[in-house]
Amino acid sequence: MTRWHLRTAVAVSLGLVAAGCGGDDADSSVCSAPVREALDQQSLVHVLADDQVEYLTDPPTSGPHAPGASAVGVLDTPLPRPTQVGVLEAGGILLQHNGLDPAAQADLESLAADGVVVAPNPDAPDPVTATAWLHKQVCETTDTATLIAFIEDHRNQGPGSD
């Protein structure tokens, strides 16, 4: 084996080992790429939080919403969809979870902050769903680096943001 081949083999081996080690950033396949969703033409419509409303996407990223005080922090109960959209319209980020183990849920809850709400969603098809106004990203588990990037890219981007 030539010296070049040996160096290449070592570099590839080290790269494979590095890709398999580490924390949240090591496996980018844990989360999908963020997607931009279509604007629901009913986004100017105000409804009550308990109204039954049809949305273009689930969880919704725009559409009819409940006006008024927004949810904050870590919640123990699911948010009604009109309230979810109200959070997003105000520029907030909603991190919803379904079926996470306690450690992954605690990691997700550590991301709650000003403008970032964490809530359960037993109807969500994915373990973690991050939504912002017109944007969504889903994850198989809590990937804090990816979710922080989503938050930084999309917080305060709703039409009702200050």
pTM: 0.81
Q: What DSSP character marks residue 78?
A: P
- 110, 100 Cβ separation under 8 angstroms: no
Cβ atoms within 10 Å of 50's Cβ, excluding its own: 9
Judged against a pLDDT cut of 50, whether residue 22 lies above it is answered with no
- Tens of pLDDT along 114-124? 999 999 999 99
Tens of pLDDT, residue by residue over 77-97, are 999 999 999 999 999 999 999
CB of 93 closer than 8 Å to CB of 155: yes
Task: Report residue 69's pLDDT band, with 50, 70 and 90 as the boundaries.
Answer: low
Q: Are 37 and 61 in contact (CB under 8 A)?
A: yes
What CA–CA distance (Å, rounded) separates 84 from 39?
15
Q: Where are the domains of the chain?
A: 25-154
